[in-house]
Amino acid sequence: MISFPSIYPDELLYSAFARYHRNSGNESSRETMKELFDNPSTCSSIWFPSQLTELTRQIPGQVYDPDELIQKHTLIPYFAPFIPPERATRLVETIKTYVSSSANMILGRTAFAVKPKLRLFYCDLCVREDREKYGEAYWRRSHQVEGVYLCPVHHNWLVQSKISHQMRLSRYRYIMLEHALQEAGESCFFPNQTLDHLQFISEQTQFLLDNQLSSPGLLNISLFYISKLRRNGFIYQASNRIRWDKLLASFKGHYGEAFLSELNGEVGKEDSWLHKLLRKPRVACHPLRHILLLGFLGESVESMMNEISKGSNQFDPFGQGPWPCLNKAADHYMEQTITSCKITRGSKTGKPVGTFACNCGFVYSRSGPDIIESDRYRVGRVKEFGDVWIKKLAEMSNQDLAARSQAKLLGCDPQTVINQRKLLIFK
């Protein structure tokens, strides 16, 4: 292998391979592939290269670290914060070791849910600056991301080249930007009123690529959204439900239906991506969609990450207080007597757990988040029965009532009555 070219800032690895191919003077891409990966049939997609560990071994002096290549020269940092942490780890491992990139498979539908860019893009001003600085232009990864039609640096329209983005066509072909520039490309264009939105998408995309954030977990992201929706009046106070009619109308009004449809981001009345994003935090959604929702809420990737890292107490997965006392033995049963809720996180599930303590001594917890109104009246586990409850139990012990009837009156199961009665004897 001849020496590998220095990789430029934000350069797609594919672009560096193309420059290597030119420097090598190889006739076929397969020869280049053999030199780079010790394997002529490595399938290197533009988005997700493969066998990076082998590549760094092949490069003389082993000057590159595969993890660094992944973070700085692939689209992994764009997707990683929005998929479950274990899937992000698997993705990185796949790119390091597998011959044929199954990264697309791991990302699944997440990667393909929005309107794909079918060709490689570039920015005229970046081309000019890079030629001055490095003597040649190169493919930048930020320009290839879906929804990015303005250069994040220069804020001007990107240009669509003639080079196909589709894996199958370019699988064994490495084409440098300098080469592609010999044919005129086609400038992007969107109506003026969408410029602010496009600008926001470009900035957020660049932020993701530059910051290599790890996934905070889909549930945390969802809790963040719910708390913001609540603050913006999109959640019914009483029932804790999303006000879909209002939300959808407002969301469409914010972006305009034409713009959303241009990005394959239409939101229908039911079962749209927005419904999935807010209702099923377990299903990963395309980062562009998260960016659209963040923009609508007046937030950003950065503000979201900051708030999540400050801790779960920032959110209100159990709605706003006061909460009901669920002590059946108390005369204030079901009344809103509890003013604070302590939130912790289930060690296994990662779900928020709320603990509610009433002045009567009754303490209960449940795992959340609360989704429907009746969740507010659900006891997950009783942590303390408290004096009022114990007193009632003691009174009942003197009555001639079956444990089952007592249990019903006390709001617990018969075994608990029996167990608690035994404890009573020792008091």
> Given the rule CB under 5 A, which residues bind Zn ion?
123, 125-126, 151, 153-154, 325, 327, 330, 358, 360, 362
What is the nearest approach in angstroms of Zn ion to the Cβ of residue 36? 28
What is the nearest approach in angstroms of Zn ion to the Cβ of residue 156? 7
Q: Write the DSSP string, 287-300.
A: HHHHHHHHHHTT--
What is the nearest approach in angstroms of Zn ion to the Cβ of residue 112? 27
Between residues 151 and 226, which has the closer beta carbon with respect to Zn ion? 151
What is the nearest approach in angstroms of Zn ion to the Cβ of residue 177? 12
The Cα–Cα gap between 411 and 378 comes to 12
> What residues have CB less than 8 Å from 69, skipping those under 6 apart?
7, 13, 52, 55, 56
> What residues have CB less than 8 Å from 154, skipping those under 6 apart?
123, 125, 126
Strands 363-367 and 352-357: antiparallel
Between residues 68 and 335, which has the closer beta carbon with respect to Zn ion? 335
Secondary structure letter of residue 377 according to DSSP: G
What is the nearest approach in angstroms of Zn ion to the Cβ of residue 330? 4
Between residues 114 and 360, which has the closer beta carbon with respect to Zn ion? 360
* First-to-final CA distance of the chain: 82
Between residues 2 and 334, which has the closer beta carbon with respect to Zn ion? 334
What is the nearest approach in angstroms of Zn ion to the Cβ of residue 282? 35
Secondary structure letter of residue 81 according to DSSP: G
The Cα–Cα gap between 416 and 395 comes to 16
The Cα–Cα gap between 17 and 60 comes to 15
Question: What token pair was written down for 146?
Answer: 């879906």
Between residues 274 and 357, which has the closer beta carbon with respect to Zn ion? 357
| Coil/strand/helix, residue 204 | helix
What is the nearest approach in angstroms of Zn ion to the Cβ of residue 213? 23
Q: In what helix (H) or strand (E) does residue 116 lie, and over which residues does it extend?
A: none
Own/partner pairs, 104-113, CB within 8 angstroms, 24+ separation:
104/45, 104/47, 104/48, 107/79, 107/83, 107/284, 108/284, 110/79, 110/82, 110/83, 110/284, 110/285, 110/286, 111/47, 111/79, 111/286, 113/264, 113/273, 113/285, 113/286, 113/289
What is the nearest approach in angstroms of Zn ion to the Cβ of residue 362? 5
The Cα–Cα gap between 181 and 352 comes to 53
What is the nearest approach in angstroms of Zn ion to the Cβ of residue 208? 18
| Coil/strand/helix, residue 259 | helix
What is the nearest approach in angstroms of Zn ion to the Cβ of residue 364? 10
Instruction: Of 263, 1, 48, give the one whose Cα is nearest residue 149.
Output: 263
